[in-house]
Amino acid sequence: MKRFTSLVLLALWFVSFNSLAANFTQQTNKTQTQDVIIKYAFKAAKLENIMDYQLFKDGYLAYDHTKNKKKSILTIIDYSKPSTQKRFYVIDLKNNKLLYHTYVTHGVNSGGKVANRFSNVVNSKQTSLGTFLTDTTYQGGNGYSLKLDGLTKGINDNARRRYIVIHGADYANESFIKRNGYLGRSWGCPALPKALSRSIINTIKGGSVIYAHA
């Protein structure tokens, strides 16, 4: 009886081990396939000398994991760069094409030329990081604007309460940088050059993913 029980336990262990091994292999193959896809998209969009590959990969994974997205468009904001550099990227993942590459502001309390403080707190006037999903547009105090939903719990999920939106601003252009040595700052919103804001908002509105990194 003991021998029979041991054989049963051994058989169950063998089945369990094979199942785990199969799942591990499947997951490894999936990861490897995903890496190939991401590397291909990065090269096809000609991003090698424009942005860091790891940043693109992180943004792509954030896009891939986001539910309820409706567009194959990924926006990446690289707040590790100073505001004097173009750090706002809009990428068409369906056609592997960089659509926009421009300046974007950070919050007035996030730092001067470089953003080094980030917050999810109402009235902090700081930038939030993480993954966002774009929603509808409206005409507000800052003109044509785009509502955002923060999807990263505890990091940016107060975006609606904080009125964090994308809009155009006179202080978000190259001429402001030339006069002051840095880009103007918002109250936490990622503000864009007015000349591009409407076309960018129309491109990314209605369910596309934004990934903000620092």
Q: What pLDDT is recorded for position 32?
A: 80
Nearest to residue 213, comparing CAs of 67, 107, 62, 100?
A: 62
Question: Which domain CATH number covers 152?
Answer: 2.40.440.10
Nearest 5 degrees, angle CA 149-CA 188-CA 205? Answer: 35
- Judge whether 194 lies within some domain: yes
pLDDT of residue 18: 59
pLDDT over 60 (residue 106): yes
Same domain, 40 and 131: no
**Could you tell me if 140 and 199 lie in one domain?**
yes
Same domain, residue pair 21 and 93? no
What is the tens place of the pLDDT at every residue in 151-197? Answer: 999 999 999 999 999 999 999 999 999 999 999 999 999 999 999 99
78 and 134 share one domain: yes
Domain assignment present for 203? yes
Both 179 and 76 in one domain: the answer is yes
- The answer to whether 127 touches 110, Cβ cutoff 8 Å, is yes
* Confidence category of residue 15, pLDDT binned at 50, 70, 90: low
In a domain, 118, yes or no: yes
- 38 and 128 share one domain: no
pLDDT reported for residue 210: 98
Q: Tens of pLDDT along 32-41? A: 889 999 999 9
78 and 94 part of one domain: yes
Identify whether residues 113 and 203 lie together within a single domain: yes
Identify whether 2 is part of a domain: no
17 plus 87 within the same structural domain: no
Do 138 and 163 lie in a common domain? yes
**Is 17 part of a structural domain of the chain?**
yes
Domain contains 135: yes
pTM of the model: 0.86
Q: pLDDT band for position 204 (50/70/90)?
A: very high
Q: Which domain holds residue 127?
A: 51-213
Query: CA dist 147 to 26, 81, 159, Å?
Result: 39, 24, 9
Residue 33: predicted pLDDT:
87
Q: Are residues 158 and 192 in the same domain?
A: yes
The model's pLDDT over 71-99, given as tens digits with 9 standing for 90+, comes to: 999 999 999 999 999 999 999 999 999 99
Residues 107 and 207 occupy one common structural domain: yes
Number of domains present in the structure of the chain = 2
Backbone angles phi, psi at 161, to 5 degrees: -65, -30
Overall average pLDDT of the 113-125 stretch = 98
Q: Which residue has the tokens 């940088």?
A: 177
**Alpha carbon distance 62, 183 (integer Å):** 27
